[in-house]
């Protein structure tokens, strides 16, 4: 029974990793690609690492998995935001189906800060 749970977690992790790859190819603009890959890759790696922790079931592996998952959860959204911000500031165009641009005209070109 425990092996089935590990297989489910590994399968779900692999599915999210696959969705991150497909989303990176299929999304129409940079910002949507970054969004989908950040979320799906975080979930995929989290599920896979939890499956590894369940499989090995030792304190050292479980501690490492907890630290790695927390690190990924904390850094992936921040890095995705910074990459998106750099892409926006460099003039990368939004998808033509985007309804509104909340940042249009709000960046000071000289200082790079929001006004």
Q: What values do phi and psi take at 114, rounded to 5? A: -70, 140
Output the tens digit of pLDDT for each of the chain's 115 residues: 999 999 999 999 999 999 999 999 999 999 999 999 999 999 999 999 999 999 999 999 999 999 999 999 999 999 999 999 889 888 888 888 888 888 787 777 778 787 7
Instruction: Measure the CA–CA gap between 93 and 11, rounded to whole angstroms.
Output: 36
Phi-psi region of 91 (alpha: psi -120 to 50; beta: other; left: phi over 0): left
CB atoms within 10 A of CB 100: 7
pLDDT value, residue 59: 97
pLDDT value, residue 19: 95
The residue extents of the domains of the chain are 2-89
Residues 13/48, Cβ–Cβ less than 8 Å: yes
């Amino acid at each position: 029974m425990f092996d089935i749970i590990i297989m489910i977690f590994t399968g779900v992790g692999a599915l999210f990793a696959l969705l991150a790859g497909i989303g990176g190819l299929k999304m129409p603009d940079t910002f949507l690609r970054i969004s989908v890959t950040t979320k799906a890759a975080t979930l995929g790696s989290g599920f896979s690492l939890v499956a590894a922790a369940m499989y090995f079931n030792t304190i050292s592996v479980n501690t490492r998995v907890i630290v790695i998952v927390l690190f990924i959860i904390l850094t992936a959204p921040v890095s995705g935001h910074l990459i998106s911000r750099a892409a926006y500031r460099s003039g990368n165009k939004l998808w033509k189906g985007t309804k509104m641009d909340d940042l249009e005209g709000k960046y000071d070109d000289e200082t790079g800060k929001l006004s």
